[in-house]
């Protein structure tokens, strides 16, 4: 994505760029940032199609964010505009220039990531799962999950970069996967499978199927219960077929 960040304070621009870099690293996407210290500087460089979204401070020297957005709308009527403000009342003015949303300063990572999920969803339908670990919000990309193990009221989400342990039941986690179309017992070709009581495996990271377990690419193994072996064998075959077909297409 190509993002324009407009703020007359260097510190705020740099802090915002760091949060964006963290977000795009999480979803494994590349991004470009164009930083502007005034509305005038941004408008002078703007042309339709150059940016996917604009994050615009409302209070700046020179023309303020609202006026910048008004002038922007005369050049581009559809580009998403997200205001960054210290005053919630500016949200009402934002409606007059068809702003997508607004963020209060200091910028909250949760708030920014939530808005970016909407933006990237409009662009590429990416999905990020939010979980709480020790009262801290963690953002999990399903692509990074190897498997999930239930340990009572906690989960161990094994990812490529380590383990995340949210206070959550496996049933609730499965419902999150279901909401983003990654889990459905009636569709055996999906990559996430409930292969054994207390375990969910991502077929993306399976090296091979054994009689009683999946052998993972990292050398670990995930158990398969005897009653579910036939279903897992079918699911894995369907998954491989679907993956091969997509590569050919």
Residue 135 lies inside a defined structural domain of this protein = no
- Give 219's contacts (C-beta < 8 A, 6+ positions apart): none
State the Cα–Cα distance between residues 84 and 55, nearest whole angstrom. 7
| CATH number of the domain where residue 216 is located | 2.40.50.1020
Same structural domain, 223 and 163: yes
Joined tokens for residue 32: 């470009």
State the Cα–Cα distance between residues 221 and 231, nearest whole angstrom. 18
State the Cα–Cα distance between residues 32 and 24, nearest whole angstrom. 10
pLDDT at residue number 249:
47
| CATH number of the domain where residue 73 is located | 3.40.50.2300
Residue 169 buriedness (CB in 10 A; 0-12 / 13-18 / 19+): middle
Same structural domain, 101 and 159: no
Answer yes or no: are the C-beta atoms of 38 and 9 closer than 8 Å. no
List pLDDT tens digits, range 16-67.
Answer: 999 999 899 888 888 999 999 999 999 999 998 899 999 999 989 899 999 9
Same structural domain, 235 and 165: yes
Same structural domain, 68 and 27: yes
State the Cα–Cα distance between residues 213 and 134, nearest whole angstrom. 31
List pLDDT tens digits, range 135-155.
Answer: 888 888 888 899 999 998 899
pTM above 0.85, yes or no: no
State the Cα–Cα distance between residues 192 and 183, nearest whole angstrom. 6
Residue 13 lies inside a defined structural domain of this protein = yes
| Closest C-alpha to 5, from 57, 40, 46 | 57
List pLDDT tens digits, range 193-243.
Answer: 999 999 999 999 999 999 999 999 999 999 999 999 999 999 998 888 777
What percentage of the chain carries pLDDT values higher than 70? Answer: 92
């Amino acid at each position: 994505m190509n993002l324009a960040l407009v703020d007359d304070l260097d510190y705020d621009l740099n802090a915002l760029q760091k949060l964006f870099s963290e977000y795009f690293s999480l979803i494994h996407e590349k991004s470009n940032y164009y930083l502007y210290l005034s509305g005038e500087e941004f408008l002078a460089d703007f042309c339709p199609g150059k940016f996917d979204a604009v994050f615009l401070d409302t209070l700046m020297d020179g023309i303020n964010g609202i006026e910048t957005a008004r002038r922007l709308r005369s050049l581009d009527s559809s580009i998403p505009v997200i205001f960054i403000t210290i005053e919630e009342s500016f949200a009402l003015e934002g409606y007059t220039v068809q702003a997508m949303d607004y963020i209060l300063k200091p910028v909250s990572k949760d708030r920014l990531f939530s808005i970016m999920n909407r933006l990237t969803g409009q662009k590429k339908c990416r999905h990020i799962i939010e979980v709480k670990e020790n009262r801290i919000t963690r953002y999990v990309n399903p692509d990074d999950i190897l498997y999930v193990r239930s340990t009572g009221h906690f989960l161990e989400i094994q990812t490529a970069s380590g383990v995340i342990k949210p206070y959550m039941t496996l049933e609730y986690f499965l419902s999150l996967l279901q909401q983003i179309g990654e889990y459905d017992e009636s569709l055996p070709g999906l990559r996430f499978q409930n292969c054994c009581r207390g375990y969910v495996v991502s077929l993306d990271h399976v090296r091979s199927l054994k009689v009683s377990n999946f052998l993972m690419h990292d050398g670990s193994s995930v158990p398969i219960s005897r009653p579910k072996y036939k279903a897992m064998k079918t699911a894995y075959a369907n998954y491989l077929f679907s993956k091969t077909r997509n590569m050919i297409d």
